[in-house]
Chain A
Amino acid sequence: MLLECLVHENVECIFGYPGGVTLPLYDAMYDHQIRHVLVRHEQNAVFAAEGYARATGRVGVCCATSGPGATNLVTGLVNALMDSIPVVALTGQVTSKLIGSDAFQEADTFGITRSCTKHNFLVKTVADLPAAIHEAFYIAASGRPGPVLVDIPKDVFQAQAHYTPVDSIHLPGYKVFTEGHTGQIRRAAQMMWEAERPFVYAGGGIIAAGASAELRDLVETLDAPAVNTLMGLGALPSEHPNFISMPGMHGSYAANMGLTECDLLIALGVRFDDRVTGRLVAFAPNARVIHVDIDPAEIGKNRTADLPIVGDVKRVLERINKVLKELEPAEKEKSSAARRDWWKQVREWKSERPLKPEFSDSEIKPQHLMAEIDRLSGGQALITSDVGQHQMWAAQFLRFNEPRLWLNSGGLGSMGFGLPCAIGAQFARPDKLVFSIVGDGGFQMSIPELATIANHALPIKIIVMNNGYLGMVRQWQELFYNNRLSSVELVGFPDPEKLAGAYGFTGRTVEKPSELRSALEAAVKEPGPYLLNVRVSSYENVYPMVPAGGAINEMVFGPPQPVTA
């Protein structure tokens, strides 16, 4: 019955881990067309489902048993909620009669996941099941996407019933605004032409809405400089002439100066995250703000919008672009001189302090590693990343010429995400070269999934950027805690050759800068999975950096750091 519903939602693949109360489901799955991928920990089931969703835009599905299975999903659900990723999680629950009796493997999944999900369901009878499942998929994928959990007691799994197609979804309280206000759209277009120093700030919303083409059109029509946030990388191709870089705490000088000095901030599918804005009062202080978002609660949450538009950014941009072109003949020349100066200024910032990889003859610099991966990827490979320094360097130095190539845990920043995410992504895009760039910390959180990778011979290239430390924490201890390095050294990293060998695939360590290129090439050539442990400089820090609580134009560019926290 449940599987029937999933078939109707075009589900191909579920990431999960079985248990007592999901036995009836797994029994039905035994000879069913829907593929089940057995992961090694429920948290990784959500991460893999997210990887699947992030790589394709389709709903990722994961499954866990009651109690510990369900509680293990929590981190992944919050992760999906923070990054607006459509995921449906199915959890087993103890038999309805036993709910509330502290039964074996019982947990109040419905209560626990209330704040971790966009919405959740507890299905009490099999008659309610189809509606709940279809509503779950609809809620997960529509509006601002997010995770939805459906908790299903064992007796509901066991009940025999015929699936009768559900032909409409009735959610009177669920309002999705897509079109945008016509008057506001006209005013937005007018403001865009009038601005002398326009700046486009585009985020994950562009990717969720599939609005890359419309964004590109807007940027080109206005000829405005644009930044993509960490979640939005690839929304505008990295090689596009108007693309600056990522903004924020570890953004480039040009991106942050542009945000600070602009007179019109065109914010598209972004949420003014603190890692982007720095000290909020000093963020784009002289700019009027146009804010387009599908979630009305995002408008004015952190920064008051001078012109808010609630709608699907794809649809809204289509309409803005149309008006922009109508107005173009009359308006274009008015501020064009000022705009030329603006571009000159932006280019100056860019050349003044470019993001440039560092190289050394004696040790592999992390930036060098990213540059080499970038060379192999050419802006085309799927890159999943964990959380920490490597994530920032990857975001700074890798090119992404399409959306949905850069998959990382942005909002929640949960370590251990990179590897399981790559599993989901590779299942979703078997045609793609997938690099999973992870730190030695996050990698050791997800080692169990090497088994999943080996089982399915997924040709994922696992690149461990190994600096022997929890690098980002170490960086903060160095800069803000008098270099008192407390519990950040990771001793005892396993021998990668033996580790990968134990799972039946190839692994090696590379330490010399001269060998890096050939080692990466060998990894890519390998038809199966590959574990490449890259020893990089231990004490390299990510720069530029905006100290926490600082304004984003108060960047620190490198040691020595006269920083007071």
Chain B
Amino acid sequence: MLQIISLLVENKPGALMRITGVLSARGYNIESLTVARTLDPMLSRMSIVVDVDHTLRAQVIKQMNKLINVLQATDLTDGPAVTREMALVRIRAALNNRTAILKEAEIFGARVVDQSPEGFALEATGDPEKLDEFIAVMQSYGDIDVTRSGTVSVSLEKKKLRLAPPIPRGAGAENGRTKEEEAV
């Protein structure tokens, strides 16, 4: 079953590798993955769609939360969330088809981002199922090239982000040693 995971992660080298590692080590296939900066440039937001047995979903989230670079991992599969995806579609179209294609594009709310004698480039957004339909319709008009962005998701729930405060060094026992031991 497809699981949608939203992650807030530190924008650091290796963070992506750790996260995908949690999935690949268990043999889960990633269907889509998007990463981009958040308002805070030190942090990135990731949306991952992954094929996971539903009994293991909670475990995946826990394993993600365990990663030191991950500030928060949330399962948006069932929760109140909006999920969108964008597709760029290049279509070769003969002149007699062009009006029909534009009409269809309009129905799906897609925009023309480029046009040339060979055809169009269209931009469409929507939930993944709607894009599937759009792509199927466009295919009926001729050869197409598709690039999809992968799912981006935002939770509609207010969730408190719990962050670990900075830890003062030298406050207590360090390296398993008590103060008494150090005095010796």
Contacts and interface: CB of A to CB of B under 8 A. Distances in A.
Contact of A168 (B25, B58, B70, B167): B167
The 3 closest A-B pairs by CB, nearest first: A297-B62, A58-B176, A168-B166
A134 B63 contact: no
A120 B162 CA distance: 23
Interface centre among A9, A56, A168 (most CB of B within 10 A): A168
A300 B61 CA distance: 13
Contacts of B175: 9-11, 58-59, 137, 141
Given A56-B176, A173-B68, A297-B66, A110 B14 contact: yes
Interface residues of B, number: 32
B24 to A, nearest CB: 9
16 contacts: A9-B175, A110-B14, A114-B17, A114-B18, A114-B21, A115-B21, A122-B14, A166-B169, A167-B170, A168-B166, A168-B169, A169-B167, A173-B9, A173-B69, A297-B66, A300-B59
B65 interface: yes
Interface in B103-132: none
Given A59-B176, A173-B67, A297-B62, A122 B169 contact: no
A175 B164 contact: yes
Nearest to A175: B164
Interface residues of A, number: 39
Nearest to A138: B167
A57 B25 CA distance: 29
A302 B7 CA distance: 25
A428 to B, nearest CB: 11
B166 A169 contact: yes
B77 to A, nearest CB: 18
Contacts of A111: 17
A162 interface: no
B59 A301 contact: yes
A496 interface: no
A30 interface: no
> Main SS of the interface on chain A?
loop
Interface in B23-76: 25, 58-59, 62-63, 65-71
B177 interface: yes
A171 B66 contact: no
Interface centre among A11, A111, A167, A171 (most CB of B within 10 A): A171
A169 B67 CA distance: 16
B182 interface: yes
A120 B169 CA distance: 20
A122 B164 contact: no
Contacts of A170: 166-167
Contacts of A118: 68
Nearest to B182: A10
A119 interface: yes
B163 A172 contact: yes
Interface centre among A167, A169, A173, A296 (most CB of B within 10 A): A173
A295 interface: yes
Contact of A175 (B18, B58, B162): B162
Which one of B25, B162, B169 has the highest number of Cβ atoms from chain A below 10 Å of its Cβ?
A: B169
A172 B10 contact: yes
Contacts of B177: 10, 58
A206 to B, nearest CB: 15
Interface string B63-101: 101111111000000000000000000000000000000
A115 B25 contact: yes
B164 A174 contact: yes
A374 to B, nearest CB: 28
B142 to A, nearest CB: 43
B42 to A, nearest CB: 9
A173 B10 CA distance: 8
Given A58-B175, A169-B166, A172-B164, 8 more contacts: A114-B21, A165-B169, A172-B10, A173-B9, A173-B10, A174-B164, A296-B65, A296-B66
Contacts of B162: 175
Contacts of B182: 10
A246 B168 CA distance: 40
A175 B161 CA distance: 12
A176 interface: yes
A300 B58 CA distance: 9
Contacts of B14: 110, 114, 120, 122
A139 interface: yes
B174 interface: yes
Nearest to A111: B17
B59 A167 contact: no
A10 B173 CA distance: 11
B145 to A, nearest CB: 32
